[in-house]
Amino acid sequence: MKKLMRKKDKLEENLKNMFQYIKTKHNTKLGQLTLDQVREYWWALNRNDVWKAITCGVTDGDKYFRDTCSKGGTYNKCHCNDGDVLTNFDYVPQFLRWFEEWAEDFCRLRKHKLKDAIQKCRYPNSSEKYCDLNRYDCERTIRGDHDFVEDDVCKGCQYSCSHFVNWIDNQKLEFLKQKNKYDKEKKQKDQRTITTTHGTINNMYADVFYNKLQEHYPSVDAFLELLNKEKECENQPDIEGVKSSVDFNKELRETFYRTKYCEACPWCGAKKVNGQNGKWEDIQDTKCGEGRGYNDYEKTEIPILTGDKTEGDMVKKYKKFCNGNGEKGANGASPTATIRDNSDKATTGYCGTNNSDPSLCEKWICYYKKIEKDGGKKEINFCVLQDGNQHKKDRKDKSYDVFFYSSIIDMLNDSIEWRAQLNSCINNGKKDCISKCNSRCDCYRRWIEKKKEEFEKIKDHFGKQEDVEHQNLNNRWKKLKNF
């Protein structure tokens, strides 16, 4: 990214020199104009040739979001039916181009990822089976009775859903940021240039464009309706046999929903519907009641530091934790008990210290016991999120295997992000961080110390398994390489 930005800066500097040369060479006509005005003068004369050069390599299937030919004409290979190259779309403000490109990309990727999840969770190995994201066979699993049946053929469902759920959650955050920015961007229509994190961009035509936009799409909802008409957004995989499409104006749960394919098994299990290809139905809750309690289990309390999930940047994600709000309680969680507080004393605090901010951590409890069943021994080993729903049917639970692997993978992914973000701080020929990076390096140190504590608790629970000598921890590390 830094190399790209340096090249962009160099290009911008070369353009300024070029426009200064043009201005000086034609002093009598252009001498009184600013460089921005000279730039627009040059563009007006050359934009048609520039777009021809940009689009010379396109093929029949290539398309750039909206038809932009004059008088509603059609186009092919980015050229209008009269032979003119498409140029009108460079007058569209950059934010709206980004937003539309994001929507098209979102719908395309959602379609691909959802198709993969459907295949892995309902048709693993080309055979019909109801798998869930915890590797459970839902036809034989009864969550309410703590009767969990893992099946190796369901591993693909876990892998596919793990990627899909993380991706769809992040996309929801990106969408909300762009949606909330829509009205703010329109208010900048009178500014000739706009400064962004990627540099200064031309905004000279925004006033005319937004006035036209206001006539036809006066609100963000009206603009989102336009995005809904993208071909990729209209053509989405059926969900449980029901035709679906992306609608950015509907409840976010529908568009950014992980779908039932990537949820836990039904409370009392599922059964195949006779004569209905690919159809399953939930077994009625009356079959297993309100479910079993946790009193007769060995348990391990494991608080997991997650950081601020609304941020992708590592420094921003763990800012509250590192500046004391999440670590020592300054401006953190209220001591008043809530459904996610520490009143049950399951841990010292959400992050292992008093008054830790509950929004930065998740408190999990893993349960284990071995029972007699069908003339043999069976292990029950699962983990439940302590979010106030742990005694309800919509609780969030995972098999210990999935909890083990997902915790390690999340930690490794975050460590990769940390390395990328701290690279400029440590790659300076010295052992220590340069001065301006001290706080970031210290935040990383705190993060890694907390992750070490978490892993010790995960290992503690691993040791409670009676047959642990037959599946030592080293074997788990070997499996991680194939995750």
Which of the listed residues 262, 287, 312 is the one where a domain comes to its end?
287
| Residues 80 and 99 both lie in one domain | no
Taking the CA of residue 18 as centre, how many other CA atoms within 13 Å lie in the half-sphere pointing to its CB? 11
Q: Which residues contact 211 (CB under 8 A, 6 or more apart)?
A: 189
What element of type H or E holds 466?
none
Q: Is residue 471 part of a domain?
A: yes
209 and 341, same structural domain? no
Among positive and negative, which fits the CA dihedral 391, 396, 398, 403? negative
- The verdict on 156 and 189 lying in the same domain is yes
- Shared domain for 456 and 343, answered yes or no, is yes
411 and 467 share a domain? yes
Same domain, 34 and 160: no
Residues 17 and 150 in one domain: no
Does the global pTM surpass 0.75? no
132 vs 165: CA distance, rounded Å: 13
Give a yes or no: residue 139 inside a domain.
yes
Q: Burial level of 46, CB count in 10 A (0-12/13-18/19+)? A: exposed
Residues 273 and 305 placed together within one structural domain of the fold: no
pLDDT tens-digit map of 128-160: 999 999 999 999 999 999 999 999 999 999 999
The position carrying tokens 């978490």 is 454
Regarding whether 339 and 475 lie in a shared domain, the answer is: yes
What's the CA gap between 338 and 358, in Å, rounded? 10
Indicate the residue among 72, 90, 108 that finishes a domain. Answer: 90
188 sits in which H/E element: none
CA-to-CA separations, 400 to 51, 299, 461, 465, in angstroms, rounded? 56, 12, 9, 11
Is 293 part of any domain?
no
Q: Which residues of the chain have pLDDT under 50?
A: 1, 64-65, 73, 194, 196-199, 201-202, 325-350, 352-355, 483
Across 211-318, the runs of DSSP E, i.e. the strands, are 236-239, 242-244, 270-272, 280-282, 298-305
CA distance 406 to 356: 23
Same domain, 309 and 255: no
pLDDT for position 62: 52
- Total residue length of the chain: 483
By 3-state DSSP, what share of the chain in percent is helix, strand and coil, each rounded to 5?
A: 50, 15, 35
Position 15 in a domain: yes
Measuring CA to CA, how many Å separate 101 from each of 77, 87, 447? 18, 17, 35
pLDDT, position 84: 63
Q: Is residue 224 part of a domain?
A: yes
Task: List all residues 6 or more positions away from 461 whose beta carbon is below 8 Å from its beta carbon.
Answer: 300, 302, 366, 368, 400
313 lies in a domain?
yes
Question: Are 95 and 77 in contact, with CB atoms under 8 Å apart?
Answer: no
Residue pair 479/337 in contact (Cβ under 8 Å)? The answer is no
Rounded Cα distance between 417 and 126, Å, is 36
Report the alpha-carbon distance of residue 398 to residue 262 in Å, rounded: 12
Residue-wise DSSP of 6-37: HHHHHHHHHHHHHHHHHHHHTHHHHTTS-HHH
CB 210, CB 93: distance < 8 Å: yes
**Given 236, 254, 287, which residue is the final one in a domain?**
287
Co-location of 239 and 336 in the same domain: no
User: What residues pair up with 42 in beta bridges, in sequence order?
Assistant: none
Pair 138, 269: CB distance under 8 Å? yes
Q: What are phi and psi of 6, to 5 degrees?
A: -65, -40
* Contact present, 356 and 450 (Cβ < 8 Å): no
Assign 379 to helix, strand or coil.
Answer: strand
Alpha helices in 34-83 (DSSP H): 35-54
Whether 292 maps to a domain, the answer reads no
In a domain, 36, yes or no: yes
Sole residue written with tokens 């609304």 = 310
| Domain total in the chain | 3
DSSP β-bridge partners for residue 385: 364
Specify the pLDDT at position 21: 86
Its domain, for residue 246, covers 95-287
Query: In whole angstroms, what is the distance from residue 240 CA to residue 143 CA?
Result: 21
Q: How far separated are the first and last CA of the chain, in Å rounded?
A: 28
139 and 182 within one domain: yes
